[in-house]
Amino acid sequence: MKKTLVLSCCIVALCACKAEIEKDISLKALLNEPIKVESGILNVEIATCSSHEDSRKPSDALIQIQQKIPNVFDNAVYKECYQKNFNSFASFEIPIAVGKLDDSSEIKHNVNIYSYKNHYLKR
């Protein structure tokens, strides 16, 4: 219950900012291979990377997001903070489960991309 409350609070906090997950996946891995864990990149927009008082120190927003993201995504690892088009982003490496899900498979990870019984999209 406590983890669900923390997770809900973190999701609400993240809803106000831009967040994106980057992961290249081959169709072969998605449709034919058993589920395996690969790494993906999570980029979360923050106010600024460095403190306005001392640019050598991380900003309060960066420190907060470094503490919150591992509560939302298990085994998340902070990589870097960067600026792009006047926006600042904190970048994290997160585990992503990719592959074919069968009846005996368990979904154990926070982010899963899988196929199930080769169901294809139909027109």
Q: Tell me, yes or no, whether 58 lies in a domain.
A: yes
Q: Tell me, yes or no, whether 123 lies in a domain.
A: no
Q: What is the pTM of this model?
A: 0.77
Q: Tell me, yes or no, whether 23 lies in a domain.
A: yes
- Give, for all 123 residues of the chain, the pLDDT tens digit: 555 555 555 555 555 578 899 999 888 888 888 888 999 999 999 999 999 899 899 999 999 999 999 999 999 999 999 999 999 999 999 999 998 887 777 778 888 888 877 665 444
Q: Tell me, yes or no, whether 109 lies in a domain.
A: yes
The whole domain housing 91 covers 2-116
Q: How far apart are CA 19 and CA 89, in angstroms?
A: 9
Domain count, the chain: 1
Q: Tell me, yes or no, whether 121 lies in a domain.
A: no
Q: Tell me, yes or no, whether 85 lies in a domain.
A: yes
Q: Tell me, yes or no, whether 6 lies in a domain.
A: yes
